[in-house]
Structure 1
Amino acid sequence: MKENAVKDSKQLLLIDDDPNLILLVKDYLEFRGYEVVTAENGRKALSVLAEEMPDMIICDVMMPEMDGYTFVEQVRLDPRTSWIPVLFLSAKGQSQDRVKGLTKGADVYMVKPFEPEELVAQVESSLKQANRLIHHSGTEAEAKPKIQVPFDVELTPTEQKVVQFVARGMANREIAEQLNVSQRTIESHVSNMLGKTGLHNRTELARWAIESSMA
């Protein structure tokens, strides 16, 4: 009972087009003390995110209307939701499937069928990690002065996408794969942004994006 009370405030968004799986996983997670909101595909999940701000997302990969890959890309591009931990559930268990899922923006990739206890353990681990990152970011913000850039800096829509990925710690090669362009193009965008802002490196660019609520 005490364990459940600790988790009462944690809300999970569960997305899957299989109603039986939704029912089973929802019941199990609620039994463990989590509040669970559900959606049957990525498009409906985006509508849920417009109203709710879950602490974590558990998402199927293969779904009608909008699959998990497209959904998570949308989540990661929105500064409001880009920080939310995402766990992919998929029947595809090959190495390339796992790599694709993690590259698309998932934090954890689990293969169906799975043990409910393992799912709970992954959820708890992801929530703890997210909490550590939030506290770490807060400590760093107190310890370091804010990044200063000219007040009239304007980024193009593509540059805004690139800087969000930079703030997530992604390498230029990974960003190029996400946006389906060459690595040289990403390097050019980063260089242009450094020139516009007067910053010295990608680390400062990432800090500025975070402090400016762009990521």
Structure 2
Amino acid sequence: MPEQLVLVDDEPGLREAVQAYLEDSGYTVHTASNAREGWDTVQRVMPDLVITDIMMPQVSGLEFLKQLRDDPRFETLPVIFLTARGMTNDRIQGYDAGCDAYLPKPFDPDELVAIVTRILKQRAAAKVSSGDSDADIAELSRQIAEIRAILMQRGAIAQTPAPMKLDFTPREQSVLDLVVDGLMNKEIARRLDTSVRNVEKYVSRLFSKTGTNSRTELVRFALEHGLTTPASH
């Protein structure tokens, strides 16, 4: 089944062009002309990803994103901002608000498709079957122990600065710490009193922020750059 996207933009021409391009790329796209329509559409469709403009009348894209993040159903729903505002401070404001990607207008539609595809692939990679087996946990623990041993030999744990500024939310940090401890999504969900689906989304966002594509890559990256909280180890 094609992934479901919601596109929110008050420019009819752009909205129709982007919808057509995304649908040609294999996605199902539901459109809305403003944030209020977008909110209704998101609740009805329960999409895999939202694309929204920032500069909209009445309710801005930033306010729309805050509305999504304040709702437990959508607190980790991937959101891409499309906007004519391309200044650094505006991008920082968008990322601080919790968007997953930021694409200033005018943009290449192929770039948008590439960003959508990357985010959805990372989200899919974060998914683990609800029945985490002992073998899954044992194998992940073995891999993590091996990574720790290699990095200890190199003296790299918690000593190398991350190549980029990474700001994790408190919940993202908690999930990262538990992933590094070798826990699977089902156990993380129990520890944090949330759903497996939400854990999958948090792990996907960690993949996106760190540029990794698997749990072992994420663990290695976190250990190499000292991104876990000391109290958890």
Q: With the length of structure 2 as denominator, give the TM-score of the two structures.
A: 0.59
What are structure 1's unaligned runs of at least 5 residues? 1-7, 145-164, 171-203
Q: For the structure 1 residues 212 and 31, does the alpha-carbon distance in structure 2 shift closer, same or farther, using more than 3 Å as the test? A: closer
**Do structure 1's residue 210 and structure 2's residue 194 form an aligned pair?**
yes
Q: Which amino acid aligns with 2:85?
A: K
Q: Which amino acid aligns with 2:170?
A: V
Q: Percent identity?
A: 39
| Deviation by residue 1:78-132 (Cα, 9 ceiling, x = unmatched) | 1111221111011011111111001101000011000011010000001011112
- Using the TM superposition, give the Cα deviation of residue 77 of structure 1 relative to its aligned residue in structure 2, in angstroms: 1.6
1:112-131 pair list within 5 angstroms: 112-131=105-124
Contact 1:167 1:210 in 2 (8 A): no
- Using the TM superposition, give the Cα deviation of residue 134 of structure 1 relative to its aligned residue in structure 2, in angstroms: 2.8
Q: Which amino acid aligns with 1:68?
A: G
Q: For the structure 1 residues 50 and 71, does the alpha-carbon distance in structure 2 shift closer, same or farther, using more than 3 Å as the test? A: same
Q: For the structure 1 residues 207 and 106, does the alpha-carbon distance in structure 2 shift closer, same or farther, using more than 3 Å as the test? A: farther
Q: With the length of structure 1 as denominator, give the TM-score of the two structures.
A: 0.64
- Using the TM superposition, give the Cα deviation of residue 73 of structure 1 relative to its aligned residue in structure 2, in angstroms: 0.9
1:10-25 pair list within 5 angstroms: 10-25=3-18
Aligned pairs, number? 155
Contact 2:130 2:196 in 1 (8 A): no
What are structure 2's unaligned runs of at least 5 residues? 139-168, 175-187, 200-233
- Using the TM superposition, give the Cα deviation of residue 168 of structure 1 relative to its aligned residue in structure 2, in angstroms: 3.4
Q: Which amino acid aligns with 2:172?
A: R
Q: Which amino acid aligns with 1:208?
A: L
Contact 1:88 1:106 in 2 (8 A): yes
| Aligned-partner Cα distance in 1 for 2:36–2:57 | 9
Structure 1 equivalent of residue 217 of structure 2 = none
Give the secondary-structure state (helix, strand or coil) at the position aligned to 1:14.
strand
Query: What is the aligned counterpart of 1:71 among 64, 68, 83?
Result: 64
- Using the TM superposition, give the Cα deviation of residue 143 of structure 1 relative to its aligned residue in structure 2, in angstroms: 4.2
Q: For the structure 1 residues 205 and 80, does the alpha-carbon distance in structure 2 shift closer, same or farther, using more than 3 Å as the test? A: closer
